[in-house]
Amino acid sequence: MATAITIRARSRTREILIRLSAYLAIFVALVLTLFPIYWIAANSFKFDIDIFAVPPEWLPWHPTLKHYDEAFIQRPFLRYALNSFLVAMGTTIVSLVFGTMAGYALARFSYPWQWRKQISFWILSTRMMPPIVSIIPLYLFFNFFDMLNTKSALIIAYTAFNLPFATWMMKSYFQDLPVELEEAAMVDGDTRWGAFLHVALPLARPGLAATAIFCLIISWNEFLLSLIITLTEQSQTLPIGIAGRVTQYKTYWGEISAAGFMACVPIVIFAFIVQKHLVRGLSLGAVKG
């Protein structure tokens, strides 16, 4: 009897200890996650003299919008952001239209000789290709067609990475939809295409939205291809603009903090919109969260 009580008391203590360490771990993880983001935000609102202060100013005691004015009014960061946005939108539309159709076909139709499996696999493997290996041919290609430094060139290059993603995401969403509804529509006289358009597509709307947002994020964040293809503010995207203010001789800390923080804001909003789809989106539809 007495031993039973000690054992129970001991396991109670253990339970409490585990719970405490879990909450402690959550707290530490939150601090470590949020501090760097807070720090770049705080620096963007400080005067230069406070950015360079030792010991650092933990809070921006003398807040200023000076660096936002420098970046977005005096320097063309608004232009960069607009370019980023337009390129992301273009890429997303192209990827979503073709990716949805391909995803649907791969989820629903049968093909001879295991083509369905082979093509799915091939599309996935194109997503694995490191972008650096395509910079030489893309550069020469766009140079040949006189398309360097255009937003269309960026959209074409980004599509190479977003289209496989969209195809796999939509394939995974369509596979989750019951096929019976489409069959019923066809029994009622709808065509195969009509069943896709009027039945499957509306049901897949949450998946379409999530896929679109992920494509926007991927394109918005992209740096390497834009570095190769763009030359002037006519087509340069936000990450290029930011990197351009980190030079060998001087780093414009305030400006890059302001622009960097602004580049993060839409992403954080998007993250909360797609929170339910994060797992699926980040695993290309392979893991359903």
Partner 1 sequence: MSISANATSTAPVRPGGTLERWAERHLRVLMLAPTVLILLGLTIFPSIYMFYAAVHKISPNPDVPWDFVGPGNFLRLLSDQQFHVALLNTAVFTIAAVTVEFALGLGLALLLDKYIRRMTFLKTVLMIPMMLPPIAVAITWKIIYEPQFGVLNEIMFRLGLPAQAWAGDVDLAMFSIIVADVWQWTPFIFLLMLAGLASLPVEPYEAAELDGASSWRQFWDLTVPFLKPVIAIAVLLRVMDALRLFDLVFILTGGGPADRTKVLSLYIYQVAYRFADPGYAAAISLFVLFATIILSTWFMKRMRLAE
Chain positions 159 to 178 lying near partner 1, rule: CB under 8 A, are 159-160, 163-164, 167
- Find the shortest distance in angstroms from Cβ 160 to partner 1: 4
With CB under 8 A as the contact rule, the residue among 17, 181, 184, 279 that binds partner 1 is 279
Least separation in angstroms between CB 65 and partner 1: 19
Residue 126 has a CB neighbour count (10 Å cut-off) of 13
When asked if residue 288 is in the footprint of partner 1 (CB under 8 A), the reply is yes
Judged by beta carbon, residue 73 or residue 286, the one nearer partner 1 is 286
**Rounded CA separation 289/286 (Å):** 10
CA dihedral 18, 21, 23, 28 (to 10 degrees): -160
Residue ranges in 186-245 that form contacts with partner 1 under rule CB under 8 A: 186, 189, 191-193, 196, 217, 220-221, 223-224, 227, 238-239, 242-243
Report the nearest approach of partner 1 to the CB of residue 12 (Å): 16
Yes or no: say if 119 and 112 are a contact pair by the CB < 8 Å rule: no
CB of 109 to partner 1, least distance (A): 4
Binding string to partner 1 for residues 3 to 42, with x set by CB under 8 A, is what? ---------------xx-xxx-xx--xx-xxx-xx-xx--
To partner 1, the closest distance from the beta carbon of 2 in angstroms equals 22
